[in-house]
Structures are given as structure tokens and as C-alpha cells.
Structure 1
Amino acid sequence: MNNVELLSGAEMIVRFLRDEGVEHIYGYPGGALLHVYDALFKEPAVSHILVRHEQAATHMADGYARATGKAGVVLVTSGPGATNAITGIATAYMDSIPMVVLSGQVASTLVGTDAFQETDMIGISRPIVKHSFMIKHPSEIPEILKKAFYLAQSGRPGPVVVDIPKDMTNPAEKFEYVFPKKAKLRSYSPAVRGHSGQIRKAVEMLLAAKRPIIYAGGGVIMGNASAQLTELAQLLNAPVTNTLMGLGCYPGTDRQFVGMLGMHGSYTANLAMHHTDVILAVGARFDDRVINGASKFCPNAKIIHIDIDPASISKTIKADVPIVGPVESVLTEMVATLKEIGETPDKASVAAWWKQIDEWRGTGDLFPYNRGDGTVIKPQAV
């Protein structure tokens, strides 16, 4: 008990962020969070990036999360500060970006009284977050923040809002602070691996395919599975296409890459997808920019769909082989299963498929093109 540290609610928030490894916070000060800013000023390990509008804070945190894989952290005040953050929160939710938004709120005794700058941030944000919390006692702060970071970064990543009434950060009240090592959430248990039977079924389907294609989305990048995807694609000698969110998950200069898919995608990718007989969809959601109508999408294809989020599978296009699990572990097991089986796709069928793809490339695509001598940047290469 001699090592117990007593901190105010505001100090707990800042200390937790430091202990969680947060290095940068993006925000704009306001009255409801002034105590937090006072504590933040005294903590050199956590850097605050001042914006001029709260929406900018959420977009900056979004970019930080995409670049690092860590949760972006946002600090906004009550009322207009919180509502200004909504667009950036919605963007993070749609793109599965980990983000923790700490929003100020009126004192707990004033909640529900239409007090100055009171806004129901919990209700407003509910459709566009993984979860929303309201701090009801300062002693809850470490545990709730731990849950918020765990939720934001696990399973299908996304934003989490923590609403903080002003009296929860009162510097005159001190409480015991202990950094929680683990979040305790009884009702939340994301898959840690895919079903081995489904994975084997998927591998066998790919080996039997005559015109396979791999369709990769942003989940490959968020799931750190680019290396596994590349190895699997090369073992199968299958063409690879991706979504806008998936750009970069497979080498764009590789011969097997046929370009981005969808209404803004390449001629080759769209024709290859339409004529394929087996689709391996990895971390992609079959949105309207790709399918352009479920009834006409890939009428002759069997679909294998891998995603960490079970709600994303068969949402718009029915999967023949659904696999719920982290894409990295699922693809790793697929590669191992493929090597264990020891077979390769039929060479004649694969050769005929690539011959057709190369014909599409030559007639209507950006490739081949004159790359020049390297002194001038070609738009096609970019």
C-alpha cells in the first residue's frame, strides 16, 4: 500500500495516456476539459498537437493511426467541441481506424438539464463508434480508458468515445491510481484465429479453380498481413486486385497485380473479377463502388470471404466459404495448409487465365506504357 499513488481525475487521464504509451494527442482546449489540459501541461511524455477546429483533430488522429497502427487520441471540449468531431469519428468508423476520443461534458449534476454547452455525445456518437463510455466516478477512469483502447484496437478497429463530465476531473479530489494491465470485457471476445476446416476448404477451392483472383481490402493493411497475402498469391500464381483502402497491401509493380477494382479501378481488374470462377476476398467489404449491384456481380464465381468482423461477411454478397478471424493468422494458416497439401493449381488453366488477362492489359489498360528514362514522373506509374 506504500506505493499507492493518489491522483485527481484529470491527472489520472494524463498518467494513463503516458502509461498506455500514447505520445501524441490532437485537440482544442475548452472549459469542460481545462483541468485535463492543466495536467497535460505538466506531462512531458505526452505531446499535444493544437488544431484550429476539432474536425481537424479527428482527421489528424486518423492519419496518425493509419501510419502507425496505434490508436489516435483526440481531446475535445463539450458541446460544439464534441459535435465538431463527429465527421472525423464517422470516417474512422467507416474505414476501421482505431481512435479514442476524450470529450468534455458538463458536470454530472447538470447532465440532462440543458446546461450551457451540454450535448448528448453518447447518443450522437452511438451509430458511428464501437462503444461510448461516460465517466461516472473518477476512480473508474483507468479501467474505462483501458477498455476504450482495447476496443479501439482489437477485432475490427474503430473509434471509441469517452465522455468526461467536468467534475470528474476536479483537481481538489484525489483517488487511488493503478494502471490496469488488461481490459475486462465479458461481452466482447473477437476471434483470434480462423476455423481450420473452413481454411482447408478454401485452399482446396483455390487449388481447383481455373480462373482465381485475390480481392484485397483495407483489412490486409490494418491486419499487418501484406507479407502473408503476397506469399499466398505467389504460391497460387493468382492475379491480385484491391480496393482504394487496400492500395499498397500488394506490390503495385508486380506482374500479378492487375490494378484497383471498381468504378474507379482498372479495365483489367474489373474484367478479371467479372470472369473469375473463385474469389478470395480478404479484409474487404464488397461495397457499392466495387459490386455496382449484387445481382450482377460475378455471376459464375464461388466466394471465399475472410474478415475479422462477422457482420461484414455476406452483408452484400453471399460468401460460399466464410472465414471469421484476423487476416494475418488466417492467411498464415492458408499458406501452411497449401504447403502441407503439396499441390499447385493446374498449370494449363493458370496459363490460359494469364493469357486472357494479358490480352485485356494490352487492349484497354494503362499497361504496358513507356516508363521513360526515370527523369520524368509518369502519372501511370504514380
Structure 2
Amino acid sequence: MEQKIIFGDVYRNKKVLVTGNTGFKGSWLCTWLISLGADVFGISNAIPTNPSMFQELGLADKMKHYFADVRDLGEMRKIIYEIEPDFVFHLAAQPIVSLSYSEPVDTIATNVMGTTNVLEVLRNYTKPCTAIIITSDKCYDNVEWIYGYKETDAVGGKDIYSGSKGAAELIFKCYYHSFFKKEGGTVQVASARAGNVIGGGDWALDRIIPDCMRSWSEGKVVEIRSPKATRPWQHVLEPLSGYLQLGERLYRDHTLNGESFNFGPKPEYNHTVQEILEDMSLRWHFENSKEAYQVTGDIKFYEAGLLKLNCDKALFHFQWKPTLNYHTLIEYTSDWYYEFYKNSGNMFSYTQGQIEGYENLASQAHLVWTK
């Protein structure tokens, strides 16, 4: 694929480390960074799902990967010092809400101490480095109000997963004020908050889109728990464009050091689970949506309901905003899985094609990061 001059071309020939690179978002981010001409490295403790986007795209042959646990401070220090990265995107986490109920200690250890270990290694790092710490929109103390949460709102949560993400943000804040705030420091840090992303290549458990695609690929009807539940849907490339643009801006503008940014969809992208499944079923050529899903009353665990992000800060500082409309979001997600299950195509090339299409749409919308 022809390399483009986007994100100020800051990633070309740079060493970029992605923790959690074998996961859904990590695999998409690594694929995009490869397209941008970066020298990409990854750290993760396992291949999290089967199938796995990391494996289906053959990313192990296209980047340098280390199997290691972010909870192991000594191993993290050894690997990061060996790589000597110019950029770090920390995505490694226990990302499944339902799993946090059965494995709360592991969730807290990974999400809190894993983040702490990355920051601790960078605290004594002597080379210039730009680090983006990614948490989640669930880091906010969700009081179910109708307003979008701003970066200055309280963090926390009633469930283990939300609490672990809120705690990770507190650790980030403490490390910034204690160590990274000093003028002339070599390491610049910022945190990014996004959530509820969908897109091809996600096979995580207890997520509606992966559950749906697994069932449809086997000719089965998918069971859904809460058809009227509303979520602010966004394609995975949307927050990734925010992370990459934040990395570029922090690299150039150190006044953003220590800041946190939300990356979420437009408010009108709130749709019910039932609406999104009906629209996706059309892309899979179902003639009747009743053949695609059925409702079950089995509510397995508590999960906070309404949650919206206010993204005015990212718009103000570097004019970031979402690219895809709702229909293109459905098209990108459904078609990726259809290509994988029905056509057995080259998924790395197909994924790069979707990234290029996304870049073109962003360019047509005159978004700043495409110039």
C-alpha cells in the first residue's frame, strides 16, 4: 500500500511499542502503524482469543513481538530498555467486564499494576519518548446522567472493571505530577479514554458483535440479553485516529504533557442493540431479522447503562472528531467478518484496505490529521 503523509509523518521509521498488541484494538493499531512506516514492537502475555486478529493478519511476521506479562516489572524494564522506543501506546489490559466478576484480582493487577509498571519503567527512561496510556470510558464514576462525561469529572465505578480503569487513571495522574511534570523531561505522557468500539476482528467473549458474528457464521440465531440497551457505537478506527493524533501532537507540543482526552462518537450514533443487529443482518443477506437473533432474559452480570463522552477537549486542542457515519460503521464491521467467514480472503490486505478507505473519508472531510 502506498504510504501517505498523515499524522504529520511522525511515525515513519520510528520505534513504536504497543502493549496489548495481540488484542483487538492492538492488532488494528499495529496494522495502521505498519502502513505509516513505523518500526512496530509489541508486548502481550498471550493470544487472547481463537480466532485471533493478530494471527489471522500474520502480524507476528510483520513486527517484533515479545510474550511478557505487564505485571512483571523486571521483564517490562528489560524489554522496553532493549527496544528503546520513540513512542509507547499502552493498551495491555484485562478488557472484559464479565471476566472481572470471576477474576477480580487478576483484573485489578493487570489494569492497575500493569499501567503502574509501564509508567515506572518510563520514569527512569533517558531517551525522548512519547507515551499514550489508554484506559476506557468506563473509568468515569457513572451516575447514569444524560450528559457527556468530561475529562475533569470524577473517576471510579461500582464494578471491578470500572474501578480498575478509574484506578489506572489515578495512577497516571500521580505519576505525572510526581515524576513527568518536571520541565525539560525526556518522557511526555498523556491518557486517552474511549470505549464500546466495534469492528472486524473482535472475537472477545460476552460482546454482542463477536457473539453475533460467531453465531451467524455457523448458521445459528444469536441470543441477546438487552435489545433496547443503547450504546454510543463507534468503529475501532475512530479512537485509534485519536490516539495517533494525540501521539503526534504530544510529540510536537509538550504543553499537552499530563493531559487526558476523550475520544467518542457523535451523540446521534446512539442506537439500540436491536437496531444495530437488524442493520448488520442485512449486510449478511438475512431476509428476516427473526432468523438472525432472539431475545433471552438471561442477565449475567451488572454493567453500567447510559455512558456518553464529551469530546470537546480533543476538538479544541487538535480538531479531532469522528469520521464515519452510522451506515459506514455498519458496513465496515459487517463486511470485515463476511470477508473472513465467507470469502476467506487475505485479511491483512483487506484490513489495510479498510484503513485506507477510512483515511480517504477523513481526508474528504478535511480532518486535520490527514494534512
The structure richer in helix per residue is 2
TM over 0.5: no
Q: TM-score, normalised by structure 2?
A: 0.34
Higher RCO, 1 vs 2 (CA within 8 Å, ≥6 residues apart) = 2
Q: TM-score, normalised by structure 1?
A: 0.33
